[in-house]
Amino acid sequence: MAYELYYWPTIQGRGEYVRLALEDAGADYVDVARRSKAGVSAMMKMMQAKTGTPSFAPPFLVSGKITVGQTAAILLYLGGRHDLAPKTEAGRLWVHQLQLTIADFVQEVHDTHHPIGVSLYYDDQKNAAKKRSAEFRKERVPKFLGYFERLLEGGGATYLIGRKATYADLSLFQIVEGLRYAFPKYMKKYERQIPNLIALHDRVADRPNIAAYLASDRRIPFNEDGIFRRYKALDK
Ligand SMILES: N[C@@H](CCC(=O)N[C@@H](CS)C(=O)NCC(=O)O)C(=O)O
* Residue 58 alpha carbon to ligand 1 centre in Å: 6
**Atom 9 of ligand 1, nearest CA residue:** 58
Residue 125 and residue 60 share a domain: no
CATH of the domain at 123: 1.20.1050.10
Ligand 1 atom closest to the CA of 103, numbered from 1: 19
* Residue 217 alpha carbon to ligand 1 centre in Å: 24
**Atom 16 of ligand 1, nearest CA residue:** 57
Residue 185 and residue 115 share a domain: yes
pLDDT at 223 over 90: yes
pLDDT at 157 over 90: no
Average of pLDDT values for 176-203?
98
Residue 100 and residue 159 share a domain: yes
Residue 95 and residue 11 share a domain: no
**pLDDT tens across 23-73, in order?**
999 999 999 999 999 999 999 999 999 999 999 999 999 999 999 999 999
What pLDDT score does 155 carry?
80
Q: Is residue 106 included in any domain, yes or no? A: yes
Residues with CB under 6 Å of ligand 1 are 13-14, 57-59, 70-71, 103, 118
Q: Please report how the helices 167-182 and 141-154 are oriented relative to each other, as an axis angle in degrees rounded to 10.
A: 140
* Residue 233 alpha carbon to ligand 1 centre in Å: 25
Which domain range does residue 98 map to?
A: 89-206
Q: Is residue 152 included in any domain, yes or no? A: yes
**pLDDT tens across 118-148, in order?**
999 999 999 999 999 999 999 999 999 999 9
Residue 108 and residue 33 share a domain: no
Contacts of 17 (CB under 8 A, 6+ apart): 71, 75, 99, 102, 167, 170, 171, 174
Residue 32 and residue 97 share a domain: no
Q: Is residue 219 included in any domain, yes or no? A: no
Residue 180 and residue 74 share a domain: no
Contacts of 6 (CB under 8 A, 6+ apart): 32, 33, 39, 42, 43, 46, 55, 58, 59, 60, 61, 62
User: Band of the pLDDT at 156, cuts 50, 70, 90?
Assistant: confident
Q: Is residue 234 included in any domain, yes or no? A: no
**pLDDT tens across 83-110, in order?**
999 999 999 999 999 999 999 999 999 9
Ligand 1 atom closest to the CA of 74, numbered from 1: 20
**Atom 13 of ligand 1, nearest CA residue:** 57
Domain count for the chain, please give it: 2
Average of pLDDT values for 105-116?
98
Q: Is residue 76 included in any domain, yes or no? A: yes
Q: Is residue 232 included in any domain, yes or no? A: no
Contacts of 160 (CB under 8 A, 6+ apart): 95, 98, 148, 151, 152, 166, 168, 169, 172, 200
**Atom 17 of ligand 1, nearest CA residue:** 57
* Residue 202 alpha carbon to ligand 1 centre in Å: 28
Q: Which of 60, 81, 102 is the last residue of a domain?
A: 81
Q: Where are the beta strands (DSSP E) in the chain?
A: 3-6, 29-31, 60-63, 66-69
| Terminal-residue alpha carbon distance, the chain | 47
Contacts of 110 (CB under 8 A, 6+ apart): 227
**Atom 18 of ligand 1, nearest CA residue:** 70
Residue 99 and residue 12 share a domain: no
Q: Is residue 178 included in any domain, yes or no? A: yes
Ligand 1 atom closest to the CA of 59, numbered from 1: 20
* Residue 60 alpha carbon to ligand 1 centre in Å: 10
Q: Is residue 176 included in any domain, yes or no? A: yes
Mean pLDDT of the chain: 97
Q: Which of 53, 81, 109 is the last residue of a domain?
A: 81
Residue 101 and residue 57 share a domain: no
Contact predicate 138/132, CB 8 Å:
no
* Residue 104 alpha carbon to ligand 1 centre in Å: 12
Residue 14 and residue 56 share a domain: yes
